[in-house]
Chains A and B, each alone.
Chain A
């Protein structure tokens, strides 16, 4: 079966629709599927609920979909870098479900692993736990969190083979494996595609069973949020 699509737009075709729950990989602007986000904007689908650790920055990453008002609701842990987001939220134009970062990652991982809910200590006694079931285990209180099952996952990896086996690069891995596992349909943007057999089985970070569609983007912009440098090596 051919998983490789000729363009990001073609990879989204027949999959994305208005009102969907869509998970997007990345941490800040690191490891985001840039071409797929552009194609999602261009597809014009709206009323989306987007699951993503962050909301991009103004006019880059998911910020592009906030500008066009295609996102109705965000499920995220931290949105501090996006002024348009803050404006829409404080004006009541955008719904927001703050989820602790580890709980968000686990909601995706567990969702993909067939576990509908789990108990965690994170957020007990805070706004996050309000209205949720709690239980005691070994004398400690835990809150029940429901897993997430997005209809579509948009993922960024560094390398794929043609069967969809993935390798990520450095901290661009972040949420991408968990996002890939959770989606009913998982679409992955990569910088290189190798023939079968060119990725050693021991070097595969995520097996192709989770991946349904692939698209090649050899030159993503990879914008840096906080370029921080030292003057001399080793200082």
Chain B
């Protein structure tokens, strides 16, 4: 059984250590915040906040208080606010311990593509290029394959990314619904499989030679 999105988030939360400063990307990575347990983890939002609180109740909603996904949030005891230039100083300066973000494609060398599809989708890189360049440990948390509308699947784990890159050799670990893989000098090494996921299955869903 592949992991559900919640189980993927829970698995990714095992990467958090007490006292960590962490930036979570939009999508499945955001769910990791629900599984911090009793560890003290400070979530950073690149629009200028450390210590992101829960979503507000209806009467707490404040349009001046949002996360990088533009969702309304709250502060917690110990939160701090700063400008974008300071936010990226701490990102580029290597002060954030861990970045967990989504991807369209990852290569076996740890190249990451997650910001555009030429001619089709124009959204932009936002802070992703700064995060992968500056944060010492980068984990990609994503579905193992992209399911298309016609039911077919596109592989996302490749020998080489075909989409424009966000960063070169920046990914340390990939967590998907099928398992956990580390980027090593020899290639992608599978360090964990989701329950009942076989080596053959994860290999058949990846366009690289996985190391077991």
Q: Does any Cβ of B come within 8 Å of A176's Cβ?
A: yes
Q: B122 is contacted by which of A79, A226, A233 (Cβ under 8 Å)?
A: A79
Contacting residues, chain B, for A101 (C-beta < 8 A): 46, 84, 88, 125-127, 130
B102 lies within 8 A of chain A by Cβ: no
Q: Is B199 an interface residue (CB 8 A)?
A: no
Chain A residues positioned under 8 Å from B47 (CB to CB): 27-28, 30, 171, 174
A177–B66 touching, CB < 8 Å:
no
**A202 CB, nearest partner CB in chain B, Å:** 16
Which one of B57-65, B188-196, B201-209 is at the interface? B57-65
Q: Is B148 located at the chain interface by the 8 A CB criterion?
A: no
Residues of B contacting A120 with CB < 8 Å? 92, 133
Interface residues of B in 123-148 (CB under 8 A from A): 123-130, 133-134
Closest residue on chain B to residue A176 by CB atoms? B83
Cβ of B133: which chain A residues have Cβ within 8 Å of it? 120-124
Q: Are A77 and B165 in contact (CB under 8 A)?
A: no
* Per-residue contact bits, chain B 91-103, to A (CB 8 Å; 1 contact, 0 not): 1100000000000
How many residues does chain A have at the interface if contact means C-beta atoms less than 8 Å apart? 62
Interface size on B, residues (CB 8 A): 52
Contact status of A77 and B70, CB under 8 A, knowing A177-B83, A230-B55 = no
Cβ of B7 under 8 Å from chain A: no
Interface digits, A80-122 against B, CB 8 Å rule (1 contact, 0 not)? 1100011001100000101011111110110000000000111
- Asked if B72 and A224 make an inter-chain contact with CB atoms under 8 angstroms apart, the answer reads yes
A210 CB–B CB distance under 8 Å: no
Give A188 Cβ to nearest chain B Cβ, in Å: 14
Cβ–Cβ contact A30 & B92, under 8 A: no
Q: Given the interface contacts A27-B47, A226-B71, does A105 sit within 8 Å of B83 by beta carbon?
A: yes
Chain A to chain B contacts (Cβ below 8 Å), 14 pairs: A30-B47, A31-B64, A81-B70, A100-B130, A101-B127, A102-B130, A108-B85, A126-B164, A169-B64, A224-B66, A226-B72, A227-B72, A229-B55, A235-B54
Chain B residues with a Cβ under 8 A of chain A: 45-49, 54-58, 60-73, 75, 81-85, 87-88, 91-92, 116, 119, 122-130, 133-134, 164-168
